[in-house]
């Protein structure tokens, strides 16, 4: 099992499990197949970026903003799910599931509450 350190307190944390990753991607696939955003059908990876960005803002953690490396604008960098603790990933799954249900997405699997 992969171990990481909490960015806030430095404590050791287990990162998300393969089962959690599978649950999140199932929800994102369902959203991608059923919901347009701003007039476009988005990939599950696009939805993942949007969902993580909204989740980060909900947690009062903003994105880091940098000038783009090609000089053509700015880029925002949010957290990577591969570095999330089991607890954070569970919260993200709950966040995405709630958003999906609030937006009339029929989920192929209703993720159980994932505990740390």
pLDDT digits (tens, 9 = 90+) for 50-100: 999 999 999 998 778 899 999 999 988 888 888 888 999 999 999 999 999
CA atoms within 13 A on the CB side of 51: 27
Element (H, E) at 102: helix 86-102
Instruction: Find the distance separating the first CA and the last CA of the chain, reported in whole Å.
Output: 14
**Within-domain flag for 5:** no
**Within-domain flag for 67:** yes
10 Å CB burial of residue 92 (0-12, 13-18, 19+) is buried
What pLDDT is stored for residue 79 in this prediction? 84
**Within-domain flag for 3:** no
Beta bridge partners of 58: none
Query: What is the domain range of residue 55?
Result: 17-33+41-116
Looking up tokens 């880029």 gives 75
Instruction: Report the domain count for the chain.
Output: 1
Q: What is the DSSP letter of 108?
A: S
pLDDT digits (tens, 9 = 90+) for 22-47: 999 999 999 999 999 999 999 999 99
Whether 104 shows a pLDDT value over 90: the answer reads: yes
**Within-domain flag for 8:** no
What pLDDT is stored for residue 12 in this prediction? 62
Q: Which two tokens stand for residue 91?
A: 């919260």
What pLDDT is stored for residue 2 in this prediction? 46
Residue 45 sits in a domain whose CATH number is: 1.10.3790.10
**Within-domain flag for 1:** no
């Amino acid at each position: 099992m992969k171990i990481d350190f909490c960015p806030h307190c430095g404590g050791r944390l287990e990162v998300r499990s393969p089962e959690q990753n599978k649950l999140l991607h199932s929800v994102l696939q369902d959203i991608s197949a059923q919901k347009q955003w701003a007039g476009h059908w988005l990939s599950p990876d696009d939805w993942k970026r949007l969902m993580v960005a909204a989740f980060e803002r909900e947690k009062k953690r903003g994105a880091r903003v940098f000038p783009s490396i090609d000089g053509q604008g700015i880029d925002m960098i949010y957290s990577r799910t591969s570095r999330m603790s089991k607890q954070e990933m569970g919260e993200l799954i709950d966040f995405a599931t709630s958003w999906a249900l609030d937006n009339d997405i029929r989920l192929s699997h209703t993720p159980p509450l994932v505990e740390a």
